[in-house]
Structure 1
Amino acid sequence: MTSPIQLARNYARSYEASSRKDKGTILDTVTEATGWTRDHARHQLRSQFHQIRAGVSLDAAVDRRRLKPKKFSPRAQRALELVWKSSGRPCGKYLEAAMSDCLDSLERHGHLREGRHGYSPSVRRELLDISAATIDRYLRGAKADDHDDSWLTGTGAGMRASLPRQRMRSLLEPEPGYFLVELLTITTPTGEDCVTVTFTDVEIGWVHTTTFAPGTQVVDMLAQMVRAAPFIVTGVLPPPAVPDSAITTWAEENLIEIHCTSDLRQGSRVPDRTFSGLDLPLGTPHDIDAAIARVNELWAALADRLNYFMPVKNPVGWRPTPSGVRRREYDQPRTPVSRLLASGILCPEQTREVREKSQGLDIAGLTARIAELKSTLH
C-alpha cells in the first residue's frame, strides 16, 4: 500500500509542471487518497519536489521525520491522557490553565503517585510546561478512540457570551454576585413539570444548578438558589417572562437587584442550554422524588468540577487586526474559585471554607461519579 508521503512524491514532478487546472485535479486526487486538506497536500507536493531536486531520498526524508526527538516523554503523554480523562475531557486551552489544580488533586488522592505508572516530579514539570496546542496534538488519538459524549461539560457559557460586556458593566458592579438565571422545564410521563434552575455568575462564571419538584413556585426556587450560593447574591438576571409581583417583592425585601436579560442582550436571544441525553425515569410520585434527588446529586458533582477545576475567561476589550477588523481580547483562563478568592468579597470564614472544600475535592472521583449518575438517567 502506498504511503501518503510516497503518493505525494509520485505526483510532485507532474504537479510542478502542470497548469493551474491540472494542479487542481492532482490536488483532488491526493486529498481524496490521503485525507489531507488541500493546503497540506499542496505543501507536501511542493516539499517533495524540492527534496527530489536536492537529491534527498524518500527513506531519508521519512526517517528524519520519524526519528525527530519529541519534546515530551512517553510517560508524560500517558499521564496527560489520565489528567484529560479525569478532568472531564476539556480542550487543550482550558486543560493547560487547569493543569496545576488537576495534578494537585490527583496527587492528593493517590491517582498519581511517584514511581507508579512512570509518574515522577520530572513528568509533573513536563505537564506544567506543555502548551495548549501540544496537548491537543498529543491527545488526538485518545480523542478519536474516546466515545464519551462530553455531556454538559459547560453550563451558562452561551448565556454569558451573548451578553454585551460594556452594557453589562454600565448596569452591574464588576464583582461576583450578579447571576444569570436560566429555567428549563422537563415534563414527566405523569404530565407534571419539573423545573431546573441554573445560576451562573456573570463576573466569575460560578455555576449552581438545581431541579425542583413539580408545583414549586419560581420565587421559592430563586430564594433557595440564593441561599445555596457561597457568597452574597446582589442581583439576578432572569428571563424576560419570569419577573412578577411576588418575585419583585421578594427581591426588594432581600436587597437583590433584578435586571431582565432582554435589557442586556444584543442580536439574537440567549440560546437555550440543552440537556442532551437526560431522561428522567419518572412515573410515580416516589419515582419523581428519587429521580430528582439523583439529578441534583449530578448537578452538584458537575458544579464542583466546573467551579473548582474548569477555567473560564472574560472579555477585557478589543484590538484591531492588521486588516482593520476588531477582535475581542480575553484575560487568562482561571477557575471560578480562583476568581472568587481573588475578588476579596469573602470574609475569612468563607475563605477558609472554600479553600478546605477545594483541597478536599477529588477531580477523578467527581468525574467517575458524574459518569455513574449519567448512566442512571439515560
Structure 2
Amino acid sequence: MILNDYLERYTTARKQDKGWILDEIVVMTGWSRDHVRRLLAQLIRGQKPLPEDTDEPRHREGKYSHEARAVLEKVWDWSGRQSGKYLAAAMPVLLDALERHDSLQPGEDGYGPEIREELLSVSPASIDRYLQCARTCDFATRNVSTRRSHAPSAEFLDFAGGENENEPGFFMADTVAHAGSTVGGHSVITLNATCLHTGWVFTRSLADNAPDRVADILQWALDEITGIPFWVNAVELSNACERVHEAVGSWARALDIHYSPVPKDHRRDRLPEASKHQHLVHEYGFVERYDTEEARSALNHLWRAVNDRLNFFTPIRKPVAWSRDSAGHRKRIYDDPATPLARLRDAGVMSPVQEAELITYRNSLNPARLSEEISQWQTRLTEITATAG
C-alpha cells in the first residue's frame, strides 16, 4: 500500500513537512487530505485502516467536482499560471473574459453555471493543492505572471510615499540589454517601467540605447492606451548610461516630471549576474542575445501580450504595515490582491472617458488568446536564437 511507503517519513517529519507529504499522497491517489490523514493516524495507532478483504480505500468525494478541477487547470494556464492567492482574486474577471470570447462555453467541455460557481468559491489553498501535480509536471516551461523589477531607491521611495502614498504615477524604469553572455557589441535594449502604487507595467524593446530613442518611447507610452494611460508624476530610471539619463532628464523636466537617475550596472546585462535579478524582462524574454530587427519585432509582440495580461488580469499585493509573529519576528502585512486596473480605478485619477476606454479595451482581450500569443512569440525567440547560434 502507498501509505506504508510514506508512514515512516510522516511520523518522523516536522509539522510543516507533513503537509507536503500529505500533498504527495493526494496527488498520487486522488484521495482527500482528510482521508489520507485519518488513514495514516490509524496506521500509527496500529489499526488496520481498511477491511482485510479489499485493496482499495473507501473513496470520499472531494468538495469540488472533477469537471471543476479540469476547468481550473485550464484557467490557471490561461492566467499565466498564477498562485492560488492571486488566481482566486482574478477568477471573476478571468471567467467573464473567457466566457465573453467563447473560450469557456456553457455546455462544452464540462463547463456550465454550476462549474462557474465552484470556481468562484474555491479557496486559494485548495487551488494550490489541486494544481500541485500540474505545476510539478510542467515547471520548466512555465509562463509565470511575474512582475519583478529593480527595487526603488530610498530617496525615490520616500518621495513616492508620504503625501503621495496611494497616488499612481510613480514609475520605476529599467533598461535591460539583451546581450546574453557576450561582453560588448550591439544588442537590443528593452525598457521596462512599473508603477510603484498600482503595479501597472509598460515594456518595450528598442534597437539600441540611443538617448533620444529612450525618451521618445516614454513619450509614446503616455500617448497610447496600451502604454501608460495615466499621468506620470515621477520616474526613477535604473541601469542607463549618462547620455540616456541626460535625454530622459530633459524630457521629464519639460513635462514637469520628477526624475531620479540611477547609474548603470553592466553586470545586470550579462550572465550569470543577469539571471540572479530575475527581472520581468528575463523571465519572459529569456537571458539570450538579441541583436536583429527580427528579434526586436518578436520581443515587442511578446511585450504587448505580457503587458495586457499583467495589467488587466494579474492581481498584485502591496505591503501596508508591519507586525510580529508568535516568535517576535517582524513580518509584512499585505492588502488584498487586486489587478493594476482595479487599483487605478480605485485611485480615482482617471476621467469617466478614460476609465470607459480602459474597460472597453480590457473587454476586448481574451486571456486564452494572450497565453497563446506569449507562447508563440517565446517560441519564435527561441528559433531566432538557435538560428543565430
TM range (shorter): 0.7 to 0.9
Matched to 2:252, the amino acid is: A
- Provide, for residues 128-178 of structure 1, a one-character-per-residue CA deviation record: whole Å limited to 9, x for no partner: 000111111111222233255234632235636999967741384521111
1:339 correspondence with 2:343 = yes
Pairing 1:252–2:253 present: yes
- Amino acid across the alignment from 1:59: L
**Pick aligned residue for 1:223 from 219, 226, 248:** 219
Paired residues of 2:178 and 2:288 also in contact (CA < 8 A): no
**1:199–1:225 Cα contact (<8 Å) kept:** no
- Residue 212 (structure 2) pairs with residue 213 (structure 1): no
CA offset at residue 187 of structure 1? 3.7
Deviation at 1:97, TM superposition (A): 0.8
Q: 1:358: Cα distance to partner?
A: 0.9
RMSD over equivalenced CA pairs, Å:
3.7
Deviation at 1:206, TM superposition (A): 0.3
Q: For residues 354 and 217 of structure 2, what CA distance do their matches in structure 1 show?
A: 24
Q: Structure 1 pair 246/84, CA: closer, same or farther in 2 (3 Å)?
A: closer
Question: How far does residue 4 in structure 1 lie from its aligned partner after superposition?
Answer: 3.4
Quick check: 1:87–1:102 contact (8 Å CA) kept in 2? yes
C-alpha distance in structure 1 between counterparts of 2:300 and 2:148, whole Å? 17
**3-state secondary structure, aligned to 1:69:** coil
User: Contact between 1:280 and 1:291, CA under 8 Å: does it hold in 2?
Assistant: no
- Shift of residue 67, structure 1, vs aligned partner: 1.7
Question: What secondary structure does 1:211 align onto?
Answer: strand
Secondary structure in structure 2 of the residue aligned to 1:303 = helix
Would you say 1:315 and 2:319 are equivalent positions?
A: yes
Select 1:6's aligned residue among 4, 8, 25. Answer: 4
The DSSP-based 3-state class of the residue aligned with 2:326 is coil
Q: 1:73-88, aligned counterparts within 5 Å?
A: 73-88=65-80
Deviation of 1:280 (Å): 5.5
Counterpart in 2 of 1:374? Answer: 378
Give matches, 1:54-203, under 5 Å: 56-60=47-51, 66-146=58-138, 149-151=141-143, 153-156=145-148, 159=151, 168-170=160-162, 172-187=164-179, 191-203=185-197
CA pair 252-272 structure 1, distance change in 2 beyond 3 A = farther
1:49 corresponds to 2:47: no
- Can you list the C-alpha shifts for 1:155-208, whole angstroms capped at 9, x where unaligned? 235636999967741384521111100110124999323211001000000001
SS in 1 for 2:175: strand
SS state at 1:118 partner: coil
How far the C-alpha of 1:110 sits from its partner, in A, is: 0.7
Match of 1:360 in 2: 364
Cα separation, 1, equivalents of 2:88 and 2:342: 15
Query: Does structure 1 conserve the Cα–Cα contact (< 8 Å) formed by 2:169 and 2:232?
Result: yes
Gaps of 5+ in 1: 17-22, 25-30, 263-269, 283-287
Q: Which protein is bigger by CA-based radius of gyration?
A: 1
Indicate conservation of the 8 Å contact 1:176/1:343, yes or no: yes
Whether the 8 Å contact between 1:213 and 1:289 is mirrored in structure 2 is: yes
Distance 2:355 2:315 in 1: 19
Give, as a single letter, the amino acid of the residue that structure 1 aligns with 2:259: I
How far residue 312 of structure 1 moved from its aligned partner, in angstroms, is 0.5
1:61-80 C-alpha deviation (Å, 9 max, x unpaired): 99996422210011111110
Instruction: Provide the TM-score with structure 1 as the length reference.
Output: 0.78
Amino acid at match of 2:342: S
User: What is the rounded CA distance, in whole Å, between the counterparts of 1:94 and 1:163 in structure 2?
Assistant: 30
- CA distance, structure 1, for counterparts of residue 312 and residue 64 of structure 2: 27
CA 7–220 in structure 1, closer or farther in 2 if over 3 Å, else same? closer
